[in-house]
Amino acid sequence: MKSRLNVIDNSGAVVAECIKVLKNAKWAEVGDEIVVAVKKARPISEAMSSSMSAAKIRKGDVRRAVIVRTKKEIRRPDGRYVRFDDNACVLLNNQQQPLGSRILGLVSAELRFKNWVKVVSLAPRVV
Amino acid sequence: MKLEVCSFTGYKVYPSRGRTFIRGDGKTFHFLDSKTESLFHQNKNPRKLAWTPIFRKIHRKGISEEVAKKRTRRNVKYSRAIVGLSLDAINARRNEKPEVRSAARAEAVAKLKAARKEEAAKKKAARAAAAPQGASQRVSKQQARGAPTKVKATTR
């Protein structure tokens, strides 16, 4: 069983499972890209399909994502160690652009340093 | 360098010490060490843990001397009447002008002197009356006992 993350954008997915870390390392941190399989998605009603983004996320979809919060503490340059309450990600398309149009909740400030500009700008709060 | 304050105890947290926890609602908590962090997650109340500064402040431990000193009352002075002098009389005397007081004093002194003079005059009169009867020369105690009179020294 692989790590499960909460999906905090409005793409329709709710829970995603990490199936691959897209860097030459054993684990991914905040700001790293991963491949996820969607384990839980919000039901898509036909009436809403037009207003939402073109890509309809269903359960079982394999997508890319970027990690935005981890329960494992991350080291900040001033020496602090920061950790969040859960693991969360934002789904991406193949051009590394976020699939959803809004992000709900916090994202870590690490994203700024790892050049996820679009995600940071969408986020309501960056801590 | 930013000094954080431990959310559980209130101690200062220097950089690279302790951890920071960001809750789902965005509230940030700083912890001094794993002990405080663990207690926080167990939902312990620092106000009930005897070693925390919050507890000590609430129960006023260790600062009792300072508090006692600062709370000493000031004595209130107020005038009271005495037996023999009413409050008015006391106030009248207290508020007397210095000239009035010195004039009164001079008067009293003059009175006293006059009285003394009178007494002295009286005494002299009494002595003068008694003198022609008794011996005019003074007799020392030893002479009275029968010793020869002392020769008065002229040298030295």
Closest CA to A103 of A115, A121, A86: A121
Nearest residue of A to residue B27, measured between CA atoms:
A127
Q: What is the pTM of this model?
A: 0.64
ipTM of the complex: 0.87
pLDDT of A9 over the 90 cut: yes
B54 CB-side CA count, 13 A: 12
Q: Which two tokens stand for residue B68?
A: 């006692």
Least Cα separation, residue A77 to chain B (angstroms): 9
Rounded distance, CA A103 to CA A124, Å? 7
Average pLDDT of chain A, as a whole number = 91
Q: Based on the structure, what is the number of domains in chain A?
A: 1
Q: Which two tokens stand for residue A44?
A: 């898509």
SS3 of residue A111 by DSSP? helix
Assess if residue A76 is contained within a domain: yes
Q: Is A48 on the interface with B (CB under 8 A)?
A: no
Q: Report, in this order, helix, strand and coil percent for chain B, each rounded to 5.
A: 45, 10, 45
Assess if residue A85 is contained within a domain: yes
Q: How many residues does chain B have?
A: 156
The fraction of chain A above a pLDDT of 70, given in percent, is 92
Instruction: Give the position of tokens 């559980």.
Output: B8
What's the CATH number where A29 sits? 2.40.150.20
Q: Is A125 on the interface with B (CB under 8 A)?
A: yes
Assess if residue A103 is contained within a domain: yes
Phi, then psi, of B152 in degrees rounded to 5? -75, 135
Nearest to A127 among B2, B16, B22 (CB): B22
For residue range A16-63, list pLDDT tens digits in order: 999 999 999 999 999 999 999 999 999 887 655 555 555 689 999 999
Assess if residue A116 is contained within a domain: yes
Q: Is A85 on the interface with B (CB under 8 A)?
A: yes
Across the interface, whether the CB atoms of B28 and A81 are under 8 A apart is answered no
Nearest to A73 among B1, B19, B26 (CB): B19
Rounded distance, CA A4 to CA B50, Å? 40
pLDDT of B56 over the 70 cut: yes
Chain B residues in contact with A70 by the CB 8 A cut-off are none
Across the interface, whether the CB atoms of A106 and B26 are under 8 A apart is answered yes
Q: How confident is the model at residue B70 (pLDDT cuts 50, 70, 90)?
A: low
Chain A residues in contact with B7 by the CB 8 A cut-off are none
Range of the domain at A37: 4-122
For residue range B96-155, list pLDDT tens digits in order: 788 888 888 889 899 999 999 999 988 888 887 776 655 556 667 777 787 777 778 888
Q: What is the pLDDT of residue B73?
A: 72
Assess if residue A127 is contained within a domain: no
